[in-house]
């Protein structure tokens, strides 16, 4: 199981990136059981003019692409805020095993 403090620090780094480019400062990162980063993302709603460009969805899309599968079982998603209903649905649909937010 990955170290939660490490995962949240990485998510906070993503949130900083969002803040630096004028976005809502929310970041997300997906780690495997060894603590290796599979994907990351931050909010891009303003930049992309896309209501669905939330940090969690971006990280999920990138993880699916990186792994070549849509089932993300065995992975942990770290996000800097409680996921909204849209993101919560995507988390369930992608079968992410664990979510840590704060």
Residues 30/75, Cβ–Cβ less than 8 Å: yes
Residue 83: both structure tokens together: 């996921």
Cα distances (angstroms) measured from residue 102 to each of 4, 30, 31, 49, 64: 11, 15, 16, 26, 24
- 56 belongs to the catalytic site: yes
HSE (CB half, 13 Å, CA atoms) of 84? 10
- Residue from 13, 48, 56, 82 carrying the catalytic annotation: 56
Q: Which residues are catalytic?
A: 56
């Amino acid at each position: 199981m990955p170290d939660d403090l490490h995962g949240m620090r990485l998510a906070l780094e993503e949130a900083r990136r969002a803040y630096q480019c004028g976005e809502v400062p929310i970041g997300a990162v997906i780690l495997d059981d060894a603590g290796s980063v599979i994907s990351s993302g931050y909010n891009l709603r303003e930049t992309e003019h896309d209501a669905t460009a939330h940090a969690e969805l971006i990280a999920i899309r990138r993880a699916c692409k990186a792994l070549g599968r849509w089932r993300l079982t065995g992975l942990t998603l770290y996000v800097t805020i409680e996921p909204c209903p849209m993101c919560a649905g995507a988390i369930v649909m992608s079968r992410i095993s664990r979510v840590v937010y704060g």
